[in-house]
Structure 1
């Protein structure tokens, strides 16, 4: 589902919100792919001994909401050129994360777009902030021989 219909429609200040609930299956799939078997992700008792209330979702899995924003919300492919984020609080299995993505810069000459993301949990607590920049690739217009 695309939230912005075209490059021309996107303006600085525009924003969208989407949600994701992280499951045990998400963590299992992610750790299987990455090999990140940190015990705080895999064992709730160890996580609790480390001061967490339960198993912690890997930070990079939470940060993948940045790539979701660039890869599925925009009207054209958006390969990220630069990405930065800061973890503010742990995300636990079962947490529902609200991601608010805001366009903070748009360079029409270079087709460059900068997105800011703020993620909060179901209690309204901030868990991640970040920024991604990249270039909109107008392949759909090129494929359809439509002028940009």
Structure 2
């Protein structure tokens, strides 16, 4: 689904997904990241977590769905300014939320939030801003 109407400040979209073990394995292969807490469930449990930790960038990737669907096919991610506020355990459900904060012909600016357990009020695990830029320009 691509946006076909002009964006307005305040437009919001969310995307909700559970971070799975299979996706963790795929991201390990894609990134080459073999950080112990991300690939060794026993080590993560020894450190006090219920399971391996999801890759921060994999969690953040959920927000790209919101950015792309709001901005449309003629835009790409041009800038991110983020804080990674808390770890996410594999098996957790995350809700990514993007809200339009400014629209010009040169960029579309967004607030980004990723929440864990959003149905119970949600705890922010990633927060910040993004700018989408035209593909050609």
Q: TM-score if structure 1 supplies the norm length?
A: 0.80
Tell me whether 45-54 or 55-64 shows the greater mean CA deviation.
45-54
Question: Map of 1:14-93 to 2, 5 A cutoff?
Answer: 14-93=11-90
Unaligned 5+ segments in structure 1 are: 139-148
CA shift at 1:27, angstroms? Answer: 0.5
Contact 1:71 1:77 in 2 (8 A): no
Match of 2:130 in 1: 132
Report the structure number with the largest CA radius of gyration.
Answer: 1
RMSD between superposed Cα atoms in Å:
1.8
Q: Deviations over 1:88-113 (max 9, x none)?
A: 111111111111110011114x3x10
Matched residue SS, 2:48: coil
Flag structure 2 segments of 5+ consecutive residues without an equivalent. Answer: none
Q: Cα distance, 1:137 vs. partner? A: 4.5
Identify if the C-alpha distance between structure 1 residues 134 and 75 changes in structure 2 by more than 3 Å, giving closer, same or farther: closer
Higher-strand-fraction structure: 2
What is the TM-score normalised by the length of structure 2? 0.86
Question: Any conservation in 1 of the 2:71–2:108 contact (CA below 8 Å)?
Answer: no
